[in-house]
Homo-oligomer: A and B are copies of this chain.
Amino acid sequence: MAVRTLELNVPTAGKSEMLDITGDIENALKESGINEGIINIFVPGSTASVSTVEFEPGLEEDVPRALDKIAPFGPNYAHHATWHDDNGASHVRATIMGPGITVPFAEKKPILGDWQQIVVIDHDTRPRERKLVLTIIGD
């Protein structure tokens, strides 16, 4: 058994736009030297999430639209009074969706459905450079 901690840096667009990082995760696993186990993908930061999706243009619209119902972007957040900030909705979305996921892998490849990609969803109100932490544990 071994553990490897890696960093992955990606540019994101914000407003809950999704970014497909499946290829990066596949590369990290290939290079890790670990064959079978789990990979935890975590965002240090309080306005982004990690999940999976069938990554295609329709759902790239549908997922942010559903999040607009739970926490619409706009002025009505107590958070804004604290920092004179505009991203209360971003924080709320990130807390409800959570900061990361854990994905199984075998033969150095993530075990995913045929139409399932791993995505970072950046809820912030502006483009950012995001650091993700990948922790690979296995044999």
Contact = CB atoms under 8 A, between A and B. Distances in A.
Say which size band chain A's interface belongs to. 35 or more
Interface of A: 1-3, 5, 36-38, 40, 42-46, 51-54, 56-63, 66-67, 69-71, 77-83, 88, 91-92, 94-104, 106, 111-113, 115-116, 119, 121, 133, 135, 137-139
The prevalent SS among residues of A at the interface is: mixed
Please name the 8 residue pairs, one residue from A and one from B, whose CB atoms are nearest each other, closest first: A58-B79, A58-B78, A45-B113, A1-B1, A58-B82, A61-B78, A46-B54, A44-B113
Contact of A38 (B40, B51, B56): B40
B88 A62 contact: yes
Given A1-B2, A36-B3, A78-B58, A95 B46 contact: no
Nearest to A71: B66
